[in-house]
A and B are shown apart, each in its own frame.
Chain A
Amino acid sequence: MTESSPPIVEMRGISLAFPGVKALQDVDFRLFPGEVHALMGENGAGKSTLIKTLTGVHTPDSGSVLLAGESVAFSSPGQAQQAGISTVYQEVNLCANLTVAENILLGREPRKFGGIDFPAMRARAAEVLARIGVHIDPASVLETHPIAVQQLVAIARAIAVDCRVLVLDEPTSSLDAGEVAELFRIMRVLRDEGVAILFVSHFLDQVYEIADRMTVLRNGTLVGEHLTKDLDRRALISAMIGRELGALEAIEDASERHSVSGPVLVRAEGLGRRGAIAPFDLDIRAGEVVGLAGLLGSGRTELARLLFGADKADSGRLIVDGTPLHLRGPRSAIAAGIAFCSEDRKGEGLVADLSIRDNLVLAMQAARGWSRPVPRKLKDQLVEKYLAALDIRPANPDALVRTLSGGNQQKVLLARWLVTEPRLLILDEPTRGIDIGAKAQIQQLVTTLAAEGTAVLFISAEMEEVVRIADRIVVLRDRHKIAELDGGSTIDQVVELIAGDPVPEEVAS
């Protein structure tokens, strides 16, 4: 962190508009060599857009970008990379079917006799991996590694070239604590080598641990640039959400737990699918929030998909309202009042090239069949209601969902199911990769829905969140349901169960 030296990157007066959205308005930004600079803001604040402007994905409508004092205008990420700006995005953008070495050196393979020199390529890849302390076989195929390792490979690819600026766009959202520590170690090594690192994360703890300086955006405008040590959390959060923190605390207090003793709405008896989740029993009552806790790969999503009929169960049965329900697919689950928000928003959730309006009514329309379109008037009412209720931005029903930020996309997906007035709402990682403001809104929504009698199955990798919001917690480990806990339980209890060696007897709630 050397403010005396000139900034490596300087962006001045950047403005950029998408159809119906002013993504950035007159934003200034600077980045010094040898610092970790956090870009902070809520969903839709313009963080990703600013990064994409820097890396040549978007061309700004006005404003200038200076790299090492010289004005640049990249028209593609490739050009930005040649100039020394490497980017690692939130989603791993690598070729899953190629080897680790091929991914790291794709497009700049060492050559010999006009062909690719594979031994040299593997050696070079191993060198790069060693530099960041990752020890995997460069000849192994990328998709055989867990996401966390793939993320590190993406970083290895980014630093394999002479890299002066490294952009990390939410690299930690799918990593566990140990992996994050590893990533931070790597970031410090690179920073001390003089690389300027631009870091985006929604985890405040991480930002305060690693960042030297932060720039805060809100609604596409610059709020301020501060040294981390000069800005405490309370002030940061206020700057990000533009309102006093008291409001946020009120939301947290509102999500009180209560034990529910209503009739059982959905009951799974020995439901299971080979290779996905071992047969389990589960009761979900109307008005109850059931949390699913477990590590990545413990079978959380697989369990949810069985309840929704997205995958077919090969054992057991599902009983809704006391009558067995044969799930032939999502349609029969939807007909029974079950809704499922997938964790994979882009792949399995939204229809990116359609408008907010079309996405909102998609499930309702699908249930009605093509020949009975949702009347225009009802459509407008629903859209208006949910745009306001969930605070979706931009509040323009014709905006394409593709142009929305992650948090707003999540809200659109939620709204699609709320429109169908489900009796059981399955939320798989509804708050992943979105900021605290939207997170609090979604948590509050869950509480409100439960109070109105909707059953909610809440899945999250953040145990804190599960413990806080759930009336009852189901703990999964290695694709087995291992326990059920009361809502009053602590994170320690959950962690103990997950970490515990022998599979304990089921703890009755």
Chain B
Amino acid sequence: MAFFLARRLVQAVLILLGVAAITFLLLYFLPADPAVLIAGRSATPQMVAAIRHELGLDQPLVMQFVHYVGNLLHGDLGRSYTQKTEVLPLILARLPATLILMAAGIVVEVALGLTFGIIAAVRRGGFVDRSVMMLSFVGVSSPQFVVALLLLYVFAATLGWFPMSGFGSARHVVLPALTLGVLGAGWYARMVRSAMIEVLRQDYVRTAHAKGLSGRRVVLGHALPNALLPIIAMVGIDIGQFMSGVVVVEAVYGWPGIGQLAWQAIQQVDVPIIMGVTLVSALAIVLGNLLADFVAPFVDPRIRS
């Protein structure tokens, strides 16, 4: 068990190193010269050369990579081309807003996904099941930006229940969180449903029914805990989905998080910021997967051996 977790930890570190290598190579093969971008339009060739030297761009590839990883370990994600500041503080300043949004989105996703997934599994094959499955398909097939604009149009512009954009009160969170959560809920409901169907087939569930327990107790008390494992294992992929969604949702709702930071950086081709956000997201995904590995033994004693 401890061996397994230790191995997963080493794997996570290796994956992060690989992620750093890929972002580094992307930066390296960038058609535009970062030194020229930083120096600005009116720079002389000497100024550009000086900046190249300062950034270490005149050193061999391997040296640059070692330097890059060393910087990452010190929390140095490079400097923004346009804002002339370090990337990490920019990201850290905006992280809380994104975390609030993600937390709210996850609540929506889990609440909708669990409820509909369980109902569909219990009523398998029936009208309710088929409607839930159809709805979940619509959910996963919806372009997030269209859902975001639709919610804005109906609930903000027309009905006036929620503000159009911005940040600050609980009412600001509702629409962005719904947009993020509804899409994920489609996947979640399908996953919960298939996990529950597997479990509901098993003998001990029939025994529980035979003992005369109520349907609710069998489903929620006996079957659900065993169906949770595959759902927890999905948390890494889930975080990945969320990180992607955050860019779109924050761009549409003007939510001041790292997604909006990335979106603004896209408009200005501010590559270090885009890379920084990508790295932070990859870190979140790897940590999410690791967390799932560590939590799994507590949820399911069968893995502990």
A, B from the same assembly: no
Interface residues, chain B, CB within 8 Å of chain A? none
Interface residues, chain A, CB within 8 Å of chain B? none
